Structure 1
Amino acid sequence: MTHLSFSARSVPARCAPFAATLGVGLLLAGVPASAATIRPHPAVGQAGTGTTAGHGGKEAPQTWTLAECMSMVEEDPFGARDYAQDWMKHGGDREARHCHALALLELGDELDAAQELDDLVRKAPPSGPESSASLRAVMAEEAAEAWLSAGNPPGALNIVDYGLSIRPGDTNLRLAKARALLEQGNTGAVVTDLTALVARGAEAPTEAFVLLASAERRLGQLDKATQHITLALQRMPDDAGALLERGIIREQVGDATGAQADWQHVLDLSPDSHEADLARQDLAVLAADPDSP
């Protein structure tokens, strides 16, 4: 009896925690993560007054910044959500909504996050920093991530294709599209696109090799899958997503010992991650049927 693990049917997670990549994405999009626009507001702040104490007892207007809000998203998503909501009540517009959506995503409200991010991508102003193709591509990738987390691959594909119409060939959007296509079982399209992407060699991101290996494994192309997951792990030996995928491939070629070692390594590296949850499930299935090929 062939063992089909739970994670064998799951799309590999991103090669780094999603929230941890926010600052990098914004920098690449041309939005300084540490020097966002400061917007003064005349109302509500400390103790509901909208102001903060200044020199000589005078009250200074409350200010909000994108950098401060984004810095809270991963470590304190409730704080980021409340900060963004306060900002939106007092003049904050797209920057406040962007941070609010990402805080919702961290808090597990994927559907509302997806809808807000999707709207921000599609309804950008005609000019100014917020209209830039690079920033909208970052938001489109974030929206796709949220749609996938909400269990809506068609929504993810729709916004990714829209993003690619704005910024053709964007690598992160191509990876987001591959994740969505894998969720829909369209492995052939993933293999076609990512084979071209990994042909760029050192310029290709590690995640492309992991996603390509996953697609090839689902098509039964285990030799190719092994080759590509090996290349991924040569670059990032301790990447949990790549180790999870190699464990699945090893299990399917009959190397239960190797699979167990990979999944245990995932648990040792990041015990609280999504990859660890999937590794635990695979280890449980393997323990229940250790002789399965």
Structure 2
Amino acid sequence: MCAAAAGGAWWWLSAHQAPVVELPVPPEPPRLADSAEYERCLALLREDSDAAMAYAEEWAGQGGGEGARHCTALALIGLGAPERAADMLERIARDSHAGSAARAAVLGQAGQAWMMAGDAARAYGATTMALTLEPQDADLITDRAVALAAMRRYAEALQELDQVLRLEPDRVEAMVFRASALRNLDRTEDAMRTITQALTAAPDNPEALLERGILHQLRGNEAQARADWERVVSVAPDSPAAELAQQNLALNEAGLPQR
């Protein structure tokens, strides 16, 4: 099979493709705390995880509470310990007195951390708990769909993505994920219609181009597949999508089956 496609912070997973994620720092409220220390710690996370950890630990020693614990957990992700972070994030969300939206966001981060740790089942559990708090959150539903796909439960993932698109009909990321789920269900015609819709909305979306190239390859349209993958490299040369496109181009050139 060709390399699997995805979008946004999370990559659609195949049996051989590890997830590529960004550090799940909350860019906007709701958050667990409202203080200058919390804002400083979150800002450090985007720059230097070691510095963020040191700051969070010092702040915790001064009574930083759950804000300091939250920053510590996120720093653990940046330092390559997503399993420890996921456990901590789940405990923080369980014990927090913050509102439901903030606790759901933390559980969503736990789900992302579990995906980084390679545990899709725990990721599914964390996002399911989050959705009990915020059942119409499109980001959380998308994350649960990714976890389902990682467990090869593509039909259920498709149902989740259909719900996302009912909530947000123009969400290109969900269209790309939906096309990948359909492809894995051997519904390639439906997958092509969905990816065409995504590329109509965002003609240079690298993940959508990557997925369309895969679909062209499955149809035997070698030239069109190469054109899409070369376009990915052109529009987003430093992206994970470009890396996968280059892998597929190399395999195609060598006459080997794509993964």
Q: Is the 8 A contact 2:32 2:66 kept in 1?
A: no
Does residue 175 (structure 1) correspond to residue 175 (structure 2)? The answer is no
Change (3 A) 1:221 1:108: same
Change (3 A) 1:277 1:106: farther
> Equivalent of 2:209, from 243, 263, 268?
243
Q: CA deviation at 1:152?
A: 0.1
Q: Which residue of 2 aligns with 1:95?
A: 67
Q: Which residue of 1 aligns with 2:8?
A: 14
Change (3 A) 1:97 1:234: farther
Cα distance in 1, alignment partners of residues 151 and 46 from structure 2: 29
Does residue 165 (structure 1) correspond to residue 137 (structure 2)? The answer is no
Change (3 A) 1:237 1:113: farther
> Equivalent of 1:124, from 91, 96, 99?
96
Cα distance in 1, alignment partners of residues 71 and 206 from structure 2: 27
Structure 2: gaps (5+ residues): 11-19
Q: Which residue of 2 aligns with 1:260?
A: 226
> Equivalent of 1:112, from 65, 68, 84?
84
Q: Is the 8 A contact 1:140 1:173 kept in 2?
A: no
Amino acid at match of 2:112: E
Task: Give the 3-state SS of the residue equivalent to 1:238 in structure 2.
Answer: coil
Aligned positions, number? 249
TM-score, structure 2 normalization:
0.84
Structure 1 vs Structure 2 CA RMSD = 2.6
Change (3 A) 1:75 1:263: farther
> Equivalent of 1:273, from 214, 239, 242?
239
Identity %: 31
Change (3 A) 1:288 1:191: same
Deviations 1:70-104 (A, max 9, x none): 12223322222222222222222211222222222
Does residue 82 (structure 1) correspond to residue 54 (structure 2)? The answer is yes
Cα distance in 1, alignment partners of residues 140 and 84 from structure 2: 21
Which structure shows the higher strand fraction? 1
Q: CA deviation at 1:265?
A: 3.2
Q: Is the 8 A contact 1:144 1:156 kept in 2?
A: yes
Change (3 A) 1:265 1:84: farther
> Equivalent of 1:212, from 178, 181, 186?
178
Structure 1: gaps (5+ residues): 39-64, 126-130
Q: Which residue of 1 aligns with 2:17?
A: none
